[in-house]
Chains A and B, each alone.
Chain A
Amino acid sequence: MKHGYRKLLVGFAAVMILATTASAAGFSVYGVGARARAMGGAFRAVADDWSAAYWNPAGLAYLQKNELDVTMLVTNPRPAYTPEAPTSYLGWGFNIKGGGERYPDDRMLPFPTFSGFVRVPWVTGLTLGAAIYWAQDVNTIWDLYTIPDNYNATVTLPEQNYRVDLDVWDFHPTLAKELIKDKLSAGVGLSVQRGDLVFRRMYAFANPWGTPYNVPPFDRLLGTMQYKADGFGVGGNAGLLFKVNDQFTVGLTGQTPVTVKLNGYSDMEIIFPTNRGLKEQDTTYSAYFQGGFEADRRPFKMDLELPGALGLGVAYRPDDRWLLAADIAMTFWSQMEEWRFRFEGGGMAFHAKGIEPLTEFTMPMNWDDQFQFSLGAQYQMRENLILRGGYGFDQTAVPDETVLPYLPDYNSRHRLNAGVSLLLNRFELAGQVSGAFSGTRTVTRISDLNRDGQFDNFPGEYKTSQFELLLSTIYRF
């Protein structure tokens, strides 16, 4: 027994030490459930607890008992960004703070999850229930921007000049039915997704006032923008679980895209420059060169396009103690083409002469489809003690042209995972830790894909580290 505990502790320590860099691809919170995450996400052909609602709803058909689950995932993201001078010149607007590696507002982020599934006693092989989990999350606050002294030395920007706080909850009612006894099951789930967004960034207005008022650094007028919105979207997922024989199982899953329709309000502000010479030119535009602000607030709408996905998993049980699994999946992040904010009420309007109302703002994303690969193993060490481990590879979805410090998919990554379950009567206490590693990503060219005068990426070096701890309690009855 003592020998077993020692192995357990050594296993955990190894994972902790290897846990150096990680983060979810795109915006996704990578997977749910202690068992599934401990196996690196190789769970589509296993799907033997409530988290099947996420991984493969067909697996719910084989639940032996009703389940209630409460899970808490805590992540500790540690992104770092070292700004570099771009090779092209976009004017004063690219005035990112330098001086070395920069960090966001470091925080531990909790993600609670709840679920309940019951076997329907009067229909053989039917299970239904619901789970609530965090499907997507971005939570970063950065102090990246500084105003050039020559533009307006009297203004101090708030330190939180770049912020993305995007939370997408998934309320996921699911049902599953065994179609062929001990052979084939199917499941479908409904994704009712609730999204909340807070987004803040800098904006550069084109100076409309002509010569000499539009000479650099006044060729663009500094602006800030902030968006707050929430909304809902509906999608679904479905899966099949096919037991080839007593040892092999194959799982096939699909997730529909979800469009979360966000509604909210946006605030924009122009920070006017100060320049003695231009102020004294004449009275036409002098008011705009004495510093000061002008602000507007408008309702806006935005469709947050979240991707669909396809997955395939296989599981192999060589004996009663071991379970081996492998998954591949493709998440279609190419659906994330842009963030388009559409202003209502005539658009963002300002009294400053010549500045046209802004009816929409588009931030190109141009993300790529993302490939994932997972390997997992489970070992029943004792009757009531199960150990799990897993490896996963997540391709990055973000191209160089749109990589940004405040959207945390910095690079492709390798994940290492480990977990343990203790079965105590009707309770399963499960713990899981994970980490990942990836190389430093260097972006050398600044881009403005839609030629709107706003740069779409931040050149520099990106790296991230993330450690995750998950604790779960499942009650079976």
Chain B
Amino acid sequence: MRITAMKAALVTTAVAVLVCTSVLMTGCGQRENPVTPGFAQFAPPYQQPLGFTSLEGNALRDGKSRIISVYTPPGYAKKGEGPPYPVLYLLHDFGYDHKQFEIYGLTTLANDLLAKGEIEPMLIVTVDASNRFGLGMYANSEVCGNYEDLIVPELIRLVEVNFNAHTEGGRQARAIGGLGFGGQAAMSFAIKRSDLFSSASAMNAPLAYAGDGQTTEGLRGFFKYFFVENQVTAGDYSAYAAVRPKELRSITTMLFALAAAYSPNQDLQYLRPWTVRYMIPGFNDIVYFDLPFDHRMYIEEPVWQRWMEHDARTLFAANRHALDSVDVYIDAAQEDQYGFQLQTALFVQDLEVAGTVDYEYHTYTGTAEIPADHESLVGTRLAALLQFHSARLAQPLQPPPIR
């Protein structure tokens, strides 16, 4: 049958109508993109180098300008523009700096937890407390500078002045935690300054420097590695005296860092064979500090006692009620190559004996592929630590009501 031009036009028109209808059904206009500032996960923490007076003139010639890194939650309101936030101070370990927790994905993790409602908004502050030996050990020292003062009060003051940190909340708005020697320092700060912090945490931290002589020798167990690492025969004084810091994370360097922080000897009143004369590379300055063992591998008790003044277990023994008002979180990797889990267990025993401390104690093991060593699984543990502190920091902190 022949199709007339009229009928062809009719078909064409019908097709055109259908096509237009379909296009309208599927949509052809510009779709609206969501209005968003972007993934908060990838907004980095605030980074700002600040000059710390605590480190002015330190004999090691390390810079006083230190970078602080402040995680701010998505939608962070600046000071005066919104309710203030509580603050968690995280102290890094020996051999690292303020970026250590970012290695474990702190920013991403915090945003994920926040998005899931598993933590509340808070500021998380880390500061570069490293020095040329790897760490200032968060102690005041004539050699290293005053790293204890750097945290308390200087860092707290700087954060509370420059950020929307809750100052009215006092200790209820502050928490402190850390990893390794940072955890040790966090616990020490909590014991010494429980008026400043309402919760404290320590991950894989050496909390009993002296050990118990049975399960662990504590830090004293490391002394022999000083000789092993440097191939020094016990009794060979010249070889002992010639030892200098090795690579950043070696036991030797760690012992130098501890000695410079805990047993400086700048006034030279007690210059002994175990006093290290250390010329600062690039300068003509010499600094002096004491090792707690001599060339025969004998413990030098007076020096060791100076170290023990910084020991968390010792501090707690001197003030059994220091942590009564501080919630404590401790975890320990069971394959820690430094054996810190054994020190932690001793500290936890003391908490248990005291009977007045509200604490959580977690141990964890790894897998055949990934043993739970000092650093390997920290990223997976960090979430629990953030949740612990978040649950204890009042959220959100509102300005006090008008009376």
Give A contacts to B, CB under 8 Å: 1, 5, 8-9, 12-13, 16-17, 19-20, 76, 78, 80, 83, 85, 89, 91-92, 94-103, 105-106, 108, 143, 146, 148-151, 212, 215-218, 275-278, 281, 382-385, 420, 422, 424, 429, 431, 433, 465, 467, 469
Interface flag for B353 (CB, 8 Å): no
Q: Are B48 and A277 in contact (CB under 8 A)?
A: yes
**Interface 9-mer from B3-11, B230-238, B243-251:** B3-11
Given the complex, which residues of A lie within 8 Å of B111, measured CB to CB? Answer: 85
Contacts of B19 in A (CB 8 A): 12, 16, 433, 469
Q: Closest 6 interchain pairs by CB?
A: A99-B36, A16-B22, A99-B34, A217-B44, A146-B38, A103-B31
B12 contacts A429, CB within 8 Å?
Answer: yes
Which residue of B5, B21, B99 is within 8 Å of A215 (Cβ)?
B99
The residue in chain A whose Cβ has the minimal distance to the Cβ of B30 is A106
Query: Chain B residues near A16 (CB, 8 Å)?
Result: 18-19, 21-22, 25-26
Query: Which B residues are in CB contact (< 8 Å) with A431?
Result: 12, 15
Number of residues of chain B lying within 8 A (CB) of chain A: 52
B49: interface (CB < 8 Å): yes
| 5 contacts across the A-B interface (CB closer than 8 A) | A95-B43, A106-B29, A218-B47, A422-B11, A469-B23
- Is B102 positioned at the interface, with any CB of A under 8 Å from its CB? yes
Alpha-carbon gap, A199 to B247, bound state (A)? 47
Among B10, B22, B32, B38, the residue within 8 A (CB) of A98 is: B38
Q: Which B residues touch A108, using CB under 8 A?
A: 28
CB closest chain-A residue, reference B10: A5
Q: Among A95, A101, A215, A422, point to the contact of B47 (Cβ < 8 A).
A: A215
Having A277-B48, A420-B11, one finds 19 other A-B pairs with CB under 8 Å, namely A8-B11, A9-B14, A19-B26, A76-B23, A76-B28, A78-B26, A92-B44, A94-B39, A95-B38, A95-B42, A98-B38, A103-B30, A103-B32, A103-B33, A146-B37, A218-B47, A277-B50, A422-B8, A424-B8
Q: Are A96 and B14 in contact (CB under 8 A)?
A: no
A-chain residues with CB within 8 Å of residue B213 when the two chains form the complex:
none
Q: Are B43 and A148 in contact (CB under 8 A)?
A: yes
Shortest CB distance A156–B (Å): 12
Q: Write out the residue numbers on chain A whose beta carbons fall within 8 Å of the beta carbon of B44.
A: 91-92, 148, 150-151, 216-217
B300-336 vs A, CB cutoff 8 Å, 1 = contact: the mask equals 0000000000000000000000000000000000000
B34 contacts which of A101, A281, A469 (Cβ < 8 Å)? A101
A278 to nearest B CB, angstroms? 6
**CB of B400 within 8 Å of the partner chain:** no
Contact B1 A1 (CB under 8 A): yes
**Contact, CB under 8 Å: A106 / B38:** no
- Closest CB-CB distance, B6 to chain A, in whole Å? 12
Once the chains bind, are B5 and A216 in contact (CB under 8 Å)? no
Contact A106 B35 (CB under 8 A): no
Q: Is the beta-carbon distance between B49 and A281 smaller than 8 angstroms?
A: yes
Inter-chain contact B47/A275, CB cutoff 8 Å = yes
Taken residue by residue from 174 to 200, chain B's Cβ proximity to chain A (1 for < 8 Å, 0 otherwise) reads as 000000000000000000000000000
Decide if A420 touches B23 in the complex (CB within 8 Å).
Answer: no
Least Cβ–Cβ distance between B384 and chain A, in angstroms: 19
In the bound assembly, the distance between CA atoms of A72 and B206 in angstroms comes to 76
Contact status B48-A105, CB under 8 Å = no
In the assembled complex, B65 has its CB within 8 A of some CB on chain A: yes
Closest to A5 in B: B11
Q: What residues on A are CB-neighbors of B41 within 8 Å?
A: 85
- Interface presence of B80 (CB below 8 A): no
CA distance A218 to B108 in the complex (A): 17
B122 at the interface (CB under 8 A from A): no
* Contact call B34/A12, Cβ cutoff below 8 A: no
Query: Are B25 and A422 in contact (CB-based, < 8 A)?
Result: no
Query: Are A216 and B43 within 8 A (Cβ)?
Result: no
With a CB–CB cut-off of 8 A, which chain B residues contact A89?
102, 105, 107-108
